[in-house]
Amino acid sequence: MSEIKADIWFASIVWQSKLKINNDPLIKCAKEMQLYSEGVTYTNQGGWQSKSVGNEVKEVDQFIKIVDEAVQKACGSVELPALEFYNAWFNINQKGDYNLLHNHHGSIISGVYYPYAEKDMGNIEFHRADDMAYYMPTLKKYNQFTSEKAVYKPETGLLLLFPSWLKHQVMPNKSSKERISLAFNYGVKHAD
């Protein structure tokens, strides 16, 4: 038999990095914002989500300056043009709080960062967009080709970047402690 070649098309990529930064300013900022704002409800079921913020919030601006390099490296790895920061928001989830399956319309690369997370605080799950579940038999072991979803456990300092169209959800926080995250979007640079 001749050699068989595999082409990979329509790949779903999740980039990850462990940031070693002082998370105290982000945590303090999230808690102060929660004190003075009712927040918003989009996909969050329980918990608190801040209104969309940008560079006007000093702590977010400082964080984005750090994350921008990672986003641009991710863009370069898949030959995307350089993108710019659009917006961010904090999430504070108590025990039982979770987020429904969703994507981030209007951006290209989205991300989540955990300034504080521990065990059992609710995994983030990224889901396939095709109908593979109707065709795949039950297997003993699943891999990147045969899995229906990719699961990441939140950890303090974990940064995840992903295509904004990749559907994801956050499972319920099973801990008695708050899980704090900062989500954000990058998109096409606007003309000045």
pLDDT in tens, 145-181: 999 999 999 999 999 999 999 999 999 999 999 999 9
Between vectors from CA 102 to CA 171 and to CA 11, what angle results, nearest 5°?
100
pLDDT at 68: 96
pLDDT at 133: 86
Q: Is the distance from CB of 183 to CB of 110 less than 8 angstroms?
A: yes
Could you give the angle at which helices 24-36 and 58-77 cross, rounded to 10 degrees? 120
The phi, psi pair for 9, rounded to 5°, reads: -120, 150
| Tokens 């000093």 sit on residue | 58
Cα separation, 183 vs 96, whole angstroms: 19
pLDDT at 96: 97
Between vectors from CA 64 to CA 58 and to CA 69, what angle results, nearest 5°?
150
pLDDT at 192: 65
| Tokens 């926080």 sit on residue | 173
Strand partners, 112: 160, 183
Q: How many CB atoms within 10 Å of residue 139? A: 9
Q: How many CB atoms within 10 Å of residue 57? A: 16
Q: Residue ranges of the chain with pLDDT lower than 50?
A: none
